[in-house]
Amino acid sequence: MGMSEHEKATAQGYDRWAASYDDRDPSTWLDEPFLLKYLQAFPSCRILDLGCGTGRYMRLLPESVARIVGVDLSAKMLARARLRMAHRTDIRLVQASASSLPFVRGGFDRVISGLVVDHVASAVRLFTEIGSVLTPQGHAVIAAVHPLMQRMTGSDIEITASAENAIHIPGCLHEVEDLLAAARHAGLTVIAQDEPAVTPAMLEHRPEWRRKLGCPALLLLALAKGKGIDGT
């Protein structure tokens, strides 16, 4: 699998982070209800989890409701997902780039993706790939770190457990308007949009987030291939 230098740095960073990665921090309170509301899976639904990481989204979906493919750049994040979901026969995991998906056009009814937009250089390329693998009636649910939060914390991820174990993962800041334009360019219509903020309840679990209180944490998008629910 050929990767750009940016993708190699991202994969290496997540490979190093995989052993200690926490996929259940309070930010999951914000995107998981949105995902479950707008996914609208059906029996035998074909779902692509783009940037699946350790499998957080896939674990929300009941077994045998759908056929699921998880894709991630990081081999070690995929290894964690494989261990956690070894009992699931409805899930297949693939190492691949979100910007160059190895799937046929129109092969999925749904695409779900959490916190991938923030690591791709071209939002247009990402949404074009999403649009290309969706069926004509397909839907996508996307969660991204909000650009206002990125401006507060930095777009790159920096983790320093020790001087010998510093982790750097490059990030990319995309304005909300640019992401919406990229979705439209890919033939995707916004069904729903939310920009949830950090809440006081989240601070009970992450007191160090106090300076983030009230700041939009995520941009959440539910998208439809072609026409939206209003027929436009």
Chain segment 65-101, per-residue pLDDT in tens: 789 999 999 999 999 999 999 999 999 999 999 989 9
> What pLDDT is stored for residue 161 in this prediction?
62
Read off the pLDDT of residues 99-143 as tens digits, 9 standing for 90 and up.
899 999 999 999 999 999 999 999 999 999 999 999 999 999 999
CATH topology of domain 5-225: Rossmann fold (3.40.50)
Mean pLDDT, rounded, of the chain? 91
Question: Are residues 121 and 151 in contact, defined by beta-carbon separation less than 8 angstroms?
Answer: no
pLDDT band at residue 165, thresholds of 50, 70 and 90? confident
pLDDT band at residue 209, thresholds of 50, 70 and 90? very high
- Mean pLDDT, residues 198-214 taken together: 94
For the chain, the three-class secondary structure string (H helix, E strand, C coil) is: CCCCHHHHHHHHHHHHHHHHCCCCCCCHHHHHHHHHHHHCCCCCEEEEEECCCCCHHHHHCCCCCEEEEEEECCHHHHHHHHHHCCCCCCEEEEECECCECCCCCCCEEEEEEECCHHHCCCHHHHHHHHHHHEEEEEEEEEEEECHHHHHHHCCCEEEECCCCCEEEECCCCCCHHHHHHHHHHCCEEEEEEECCEECHHHHCCCHHHHHHECCECEEEEEEEECCCCCCC
> What pLDDT is stored for residue 162 in this prediction?
58
Distance from C-alpha of 30 to C-alpha of 180, rounded to nearest angstrom: 20
Higher pLDDT, 41 or 163: 41
Ordered by start, the domain boundaries in the chain are 5-225
- Mean pLDDT, residues 151-173 taken together: 84
> What pLDDT is stored for residue 159 in this prediction?
83
pLDDT band at residue 229, thresholds of 50, 70 and 90? very low
pLDDT band at residue 3, thresholds of 50, 70 and 90? confident
Higher pLDDT, 232 or 128: 128
- Mean pLDDT, residues 155-173 taken together: 82
Share of the chain above pLDDT 90, in %: 78
